[in-house]
Amino acid sequence: MKWTCLLLAPLLVGAMECKAADADTLTLEACIRIGMENNIGLKKRTEEVRVSKIGLSENRARLLPVIQGFGNFVNNVHRGTSLSDGSNMGRLLGVDAPYMASQGLRYTTTGGIQLSLPLYDQTLYTGTEVAKKMVSISQASYEKAKEDLTIEIGKLYYLAQTTEEQIKLTQKNIGRLEELLGITQALYENDMALQVNVQRVEINLKTLQVKLDNAKAMLEQQFNLLRYMLDLSPETSIVLETIEVNDTFDDDHLLGGVSSSLYELQLLDLQAELIKKQKKAINHAYLPSLSLVGNLSYTAFTDHFENYFHNHPTNRWYNTTSWGLSLKVPIFDGMAKYHKRQKANAQYNTLQLTIEDTRKNLQTQYGNAMNNWYNSVRTVQQQTDNYRLAENVYLVTTDQYKEGVASMSDLLQDEMRMSEAQNGYVSALYNYKVSELALLKLTGQLNLLTEKQTSN
């Protein structure tokens, strides 16, 4: 069984290498594009935009004529009595009859068509303008969601890249320690080293192996989050680009200050315009409205229900046709419109203060982000130099240990310093990429993420 595993091991490793080679490299630009197409949260925003457009069509449809049919059947169980002037009839009959009482028939049936067409109603026109602003707000919210999704994808992509870099460095350290363990074991067998030195190397090797396993588990979790964000199947293989840091840090495109086209500001400005339209609609509610109305109906009366199914003198339909104008003049509504207008004024003033505060907050964020970016650049450069220097020192100490000049304590101490420098390098690398992402967002240049990838 042991020999079988040894024979199959190269084949399995080769198959895994082929699979990795066959998997396409998933660039950041590709992740952003897939996220825009598949992300469930973004699809919800798309539906919200569609709902707002339907609302606009609904408001416009209120300007169209409304035609509806109607039908009524009434059973007058207790027939109503009406009085009319009977003096003329009394004179003809020679009796004193100042009033005449009459009762209607028991059954009444009415059917017809009614028409209503607004000719002048300023609130309807203003309502359409309000609906247009709602569409603009929903579209701006959708673009803001796309921007947020781009940032989240970028952060997760950079985090996975730095985790992969951590894994590569740890694997190199494990390779060095395995080589050192072999050397120390040989020295111990030749009575040139103590057993405790072998145990020290074994402890460090096991510690690095645990660190490597944890990093691999963390990377798989990050891949799972990336698959969820991009709405990919759990079986999808992910191969990322190798993270790179330029030797020269070009910051000209980051010095433009806060962009005036940020969606945070656009949304607030659109909300302020929406409140203006709503105030306008409230004011227009004081104006009269004029509509064209029409009616075509037929009414039948009878005293017995069965007359509907037989010929009878009462079984007749009487036609009524009418058209006209309907004027509505608002006079007093219990101060309802007044309070609505006062409330809208207060909301508008509050929103103006929010806009001012948001602009100042974004300026502060930009200053902090720029400072953080410069600090991250310096830190990456320093940590890169420290990491390379610590690695060179470790290699020199390793050679000295092989020659018997350096002690095991010196070697393990240099190995610990190299590991710390590597951790600082990986952490600084991630902070640098995230700080650059924040500046691209504040300056309105997130599109450079995809443009850079496309140009490459």
CATH at 279: 1.20.1600.10
Q: For the chain, how long is the longest CA-to-CA vector?
A: 153
Structural domain that includes position 78? 69-118+293-329
User: Is the domain of 312 the same as that of 235?
Assistant: no
How many whole angstroms separate alpha carbon 273 and alpha carbon 215? 50
Structure confidence at residue 17 (pLDDT): 40
Write out the two tokens for 148: 């947020």
Question: Which residue, among 251, 249, 248, 263, has the nearest Cα to 442 in the 3D structure?
Answer: 263
Structure confidence at residue 9 (pLDDT): 37
DSSP notation for 257-284: -S-TT-HHHHHHHHHHHHHHHHHHHHHH
Structure confidence at residue 193 (pLDDT): 76
Structure confidence at residue 180 (pLDDT): 86
User: Is the domain of 208 the same as that of 140?
Assistant: yes
How many whole angstroms separate alpha carbon 9 and alpha carbon 341? 79
User: Is the domain of 240 the same as that of 91?
Assistant: no
Structure confidence at residue 427 (pLDDT): 93
Whether residue 29 is contained in a domain is answered as yes
Residue 32 makes CB contacts below 8 A (sequence gap 6+) with 149, 150, 153, 154, 449, 450
User: Is the domain of 171 the same as that of 318?
Assistant: no
Domain end among 311, 329, 347: 329
Distance (Å) of CA 118 to CA 93, 331, 415: 52, 20, 85
User: Is the domain of 52 the same as that of 129?
Assistant: yes
User: Is the domain of 269 the same as that of 187?
Assistant: yes
Whether residue 212 is contained in a domain is answered as yes
How many whole angstroms separate alpha carbon 212 and alpha carbon 167? 6
Whether residue 90 is contained in a domain is answered as yes
Whether residue 18 is contained in a domain is answered as no
The number of distinct structural domains making up the chain is 2
- Give pTM, 2 decimals: 0.79
Domain end among 329, 351, 386: 329
300 φ, ψ to 5°?
Answer: -125, 145
Whether residue 9 is contained in a domain is answered as no
User: Is the domain of 88 the same as that of 206?
Assistant: no
Whether residue 245 is contained in a domain is answered as yes
User: Is the domain of 347 the same as that of 394?
Assistant: yes
User: Is the domain of 420 the same as that of 444?
Assistant: yes
User: Is the domain of 362 the same as that of 309?
Assistant: no
User: Is the domain of 32 the same as that of 126?
Assistant: yes
Per-residue tens of pLDDT for the chain, all 456 residues: 333 333 333 333 343 343 433 457 889 999 999 999 999 999 999 999 999 999 999 999 999 999 999 999 999 888 877 777 777 776 777 677 777 777 778 888 999 999 999 999 998 889 999 999 999 999 999 999 999 999 999 999 999 999 999 999 999 999 988 988 888 888 888 887 788 888 888 998 999 999 999 999 999 999 999 999 999 998 889 999 888 766 555 666 777 789 888 999 999 999 999 999 999 999 988 999 999 999 999 998 888 888 777 777 777 888 999 999 999 999 988 899 899 999 999 999 999 999 999 999 999 999 999 999 999 989 999 999 998 999 999 899 988 888 888 888 888 888 889 999 999 999 999 999 999 999 999 999 888 887 754 444
User: Is the domain of 79 the same as that of 169?
Assistant: no
Rounded-to-5 percentages of helix, strand, coil across the chain: 65, 15, 20
Whether residue 4 is contained in a domain is answered as no
Whether residue 15 is contained in a domain is answered as no
